[in-house]
């Protein structure tokens, strides 16, 4: 009788032990299922936690710079090559489509390094686009914006509205990073600003799109543009021979793209046929260097974002001559744009530069009136 009671108690104890193990396993399985479906990473992350999840980056000139667009972005030289293909007839030609395909194929090969949780979200068409201008500071602006937890941007320049429009909006959408509710999808292609068909095409997608234009003294911008091409094609003619039709008359050659891009008023007139001025933000390339936090405050306000990016994120790199982002937590180096940025400019005869300043002056004044901002280039 007593032994029978012992067996009952012993069997009851085994049942409790098995039940405890069973419920423990259920809890573990539920936890792993919860994480694998991405729910534990659904909230927007801070800059540093996002950087750690994405594998880290120290130099924006490396392929592994960041995974904020959920795929490793291409090297920075890819964006420059894509929109430089037709800038100079004598420059080496780059197959933009082939380069973009290589980027997409490379992303697929590296997809196995992307955490499963990073597939959470939706691919959306851009809410805002940095449409210009080349050599104005668009890459710096995009990288500064990407530290904001509510901004997701495509790393390369897609050139959809000027080169790949025939591929359709779904192709364009699929290039974009996944975003959560409340986050902004962005891309930047500086050649849009000077492309005649771009305004109507962007409006066809969404006439409420916010448009950002980074502008810079058109003379300095032209020299920077020429410098970039000269590094790729050392046999390029001199700046003055390209900028002036005739050195004796001093007539400026507006067919040269480095000169033509700086006619901001003419390009803006084309965009204002489809978008009201309120849809534009004109960012000063000069102030983006001298006061990055101030300009980024304006950009965040324009995009309807909380002011997260501030003075604490920047320091001025004396060697490069422009601001860099302070190193994120856990990184050994600060984040600066690559070697292709901040190149020393060649010596240009002062009379050539003055001739260009005289040429641009009425166009600059007109642009000041149209934009409602005096950029002080004259």
Q: Each residue of 153-186: pLDDT tens digit? A: 999 999 999 999 999 999 999 999 999 999 999 9
Per-residue model confidence (pLDDT) at position 340: 55
Mean pLDDT on 121-142: 97
Mean per-residue pLDDT of the chain: 79
Per-residue model confidence (pLDDT) at position 344: 80
Q: At what angle do helices 218-232 and 76-84 cross, to 10 degrees?
A: 100
Q: Assign residue 62 a region: left if phi > 0, alpha if psi is -120 to 50, beta otherwise?
A: beta
Mean pLDDT on 73-94: 38
Per-residue model confidence (pLDDT) at position 299: 98
Q: Which range has the worst mean pLDDT, 99-103, 344-348, 354-358?
A: 99-103
pLDDT category at 45 given cuts 50, 70, 90 is: very low
Q: Higher confidence at residue 161 or residue 12?
A: 161
Per-residue model confidence (pLDDT) at position 24: 74
Per-residue model confidence (pLDDT) at position 334: 60
Per-residue model confidence (pLDDT) at position 12: 54
DSSP state of 360: H
In this model, does residue 75 exceed pLDDT 70?
A: no
Mean pLDDT on 120-130: 96
Per-residue model confidence (pLDDT) at position 336: 76
Per-residue model confidence (pLDDT) at position 63: 35
* E strand or H helix that includes residue 268: helix 264-271
How far apart CA 261 and CA 133 sit, in angstroms, is 8
Mean pLDDT on 93-119: 45
CA neighbours within 13 Å on the CB side: how many for 372? 5
Per-residue model confidence (pLDDT) at position 88: 37
Q: Which range has the worst mean pLDDT, 115-119, 213-217, 236-240?
A: 115-119
How far apart CA 366 and CA 372 sit, in angstroms, is 10
Peptide bond into 133 cis (omega under 30): yes
Beta strand spans in 93-228 (E)? 122-123, 128-132, 151-153, 178-179, 184-188, 210-215
Question: Which structure tokens are listed for 29?
Answer: 């399985």
How many CB atoms are closer than 10 A to CB 332?
7
Whether the model clears a pTM of 0.75, i.e. scores above it, the answer is no
CB contact at 8 A, 189 and 129: yes
Tens digit of each residue's pLDDT (9 = 90 or more) over 339-354: 555 568 899 999 999 9
Question: Which structure tokens are listed for 5?
Answer: 């009671």
CB contact at 8 A, 139 and 76: yes
């Amino acid at each position: 009788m007593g032994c029978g009671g012992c067996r009952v108690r012993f069997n009851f104890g085994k049942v409790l032990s098995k039940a405890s193990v069973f419920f423990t396993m259920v809890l573990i399985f539920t936890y792993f299922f919860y994480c694998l479906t991405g729910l534990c990473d659904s909230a927007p992350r801070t800059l540093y936690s996002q950087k750690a999840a994405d594998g880290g980056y120290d130099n924006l000139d490396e392929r592994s710079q960041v995974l904020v667009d959920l795929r490793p972005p291409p090297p920075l030289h890819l964006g420059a090559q894509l929109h430089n293909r037709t800038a100079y007839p004598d420059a080496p030609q780059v197959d933009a489509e082939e380069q973009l395909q290589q980027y997409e194929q490379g992303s697929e090969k590296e997809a196995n390094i992307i955490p499963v949780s990073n597939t959470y979200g939706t691919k959306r068409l851009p809410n805002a686009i940095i449409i210009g201008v080349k050599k104005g500071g668009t890459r710096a602006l995009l990288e500064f914006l990407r530290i904001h937890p509510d901004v997701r941007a495509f790393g390369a320049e897609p050139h959809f509205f000027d080169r790949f429009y025939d591929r359709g909006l779904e192709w364009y959408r699929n290039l974009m990073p996944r975003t959560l509710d409340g986050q902004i999808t962005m891309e930047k292609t500086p050649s849009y600003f000077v492309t005649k068909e771009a305004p109507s095409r962007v409006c066809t997608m969404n006439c409420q799109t916010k448009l950002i234009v980074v502008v810079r003294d058109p003379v300095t911008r032209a020299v920077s543009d020429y410098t970039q091409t000269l590094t790729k094609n050392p046999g390029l003619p001199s700046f003055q021979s390209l900028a002036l039709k005739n050195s004796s008359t001093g007539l400026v050659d507006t067919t040269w793209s480095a000169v033509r891009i700086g006619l901001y008023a003419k390009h803006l007139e084309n965009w204002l046929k489809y978008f009201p001025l309120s849809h534009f933000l004109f960012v000063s390339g000069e102030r983006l260097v001298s006061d990055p936090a101030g300009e980024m405050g304006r950009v965040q306000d324009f995009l309807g974002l909380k002011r997260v990016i501030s003075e604490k994120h920047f320091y001025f790199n004396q060697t490069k001559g422009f601001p860099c982002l302070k190193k994120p937590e856990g990184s050994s180096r600060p984040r600066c744009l690559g070697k292709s940025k901040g190149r020393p400019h060649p010596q240009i005869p002062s009379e050539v530069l003055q001739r260009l300043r005289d040429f641009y002056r009425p166009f600059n004044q007109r642009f000041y009136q149209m934009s409602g901002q005096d950029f002080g280039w004259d």
